[in-house]
Amino acid sequence: MATVKVKLRPSSVEGKAGVIYYQITHNRKTQQITTRLRVCPSDWDADEEKLVQGAPNHSMTQNRIDSDVALLRRVILDLDSCGVDYSVSDIVNRYKSPQSHILVLDYMSTQVEQLRATNRLGTAKNYEKTMCSFGEFLGDVRLPLSALTEQVITDYNTFLVQRGLVRNSVSLHLFYKDKSLL
């Protein structure tokens, strides 16, 4: 059985954010997967392998870490259930496969294009508004579909309410967002 650990590689420049990476160990061999997630050492709890509460972008960053770890564990479980020998490289290769990291906004964009191609212009327009709004909510975060959780939707709902949208508008954004991902 392979193990997955989440670690922070501190920056060589003092005061700069370090990089989160995943350490996968199997049969006494180790391989690392470096992420694009940057975290200040003061915002990282090494013992718990997670962000401390109150860190900048805590919810989104921790959600991304949790989804990546869940995906790695799913890959390991699949390989274990096959009953064949596998290496740590097999785990990493499956994790890095393009199907594992389809981004939410890319998927939504594809849905909008398909709707336009089938002349469903009104629905496409609503999906596109939702996609733009969700993109503003995400900022620079590249969220894969596997990281889209109830907590992300709850945070998005809060984002919409804080922007002054009324309940019907919030419902429209959330409705189309959820439906576009089916």
Left if phi > 0, otherwise alpha if psi is -120 to 50, otherwise beta: which for 65?
Answer: alpha
Contact assessment for residue 130 and residue 87, using Cβ atoms and an 8 Å cutoff = no
Question: How many CA atoms within 13 Å lie on the side-chain side of 14?
Answer: 0
Nearest residue to 103 (alpha-carbon basis) of 59, 138, 62:
138
pLDDT of 174 reads 61
Tokens of 156: 């998005």
Q: Residue 91: what pLDDT?
A: 92
Q: For the chain, give the secondary structure using H, E and C.
A: CCEEEEEEECCCCCCCCEEEEEEEEECCEEEEEEEEEEECHHHEECCCCEECCCCCCHHHHHHHHHHHHHHHHHHHHHHHHHCCCCCHHHHHHHHHCHHHHCEHHHHHHHHHHHHHHCCCHHHHHHHHHHHHHHHHHHCCCCCEHHHCCHHHHHHHHHHHHHCCCCHHHHHHHHHHHHHHCC
CA distance 76 to 133: 35
Is-contact 133 173, C-beta < 8 A?
Answer: yes
Give strand pairing partners of 23: 5, 32
pTM over 0.75: no
Give 100-122 pLDDT, tens digit per residue. 667 888 888 989 999 999 999 99
pLDDT by residue, tens only, the chain of 182 residues: 899 999 999 999 888 999 999 999 999 999 999 999 999 999 999 999 999 988 887 888 888 898 889 889 888 887 887 778 899 999 998 888 866 667 888 888 989 999 999 999 998 998 898 889 889 888 877 777 766 777 788 888 888 888 887 776 766 666 544 444 43
The residue ranges of every structural domain in the chain are 3-100, 104-180
pLDDT reported for residue 173: 60
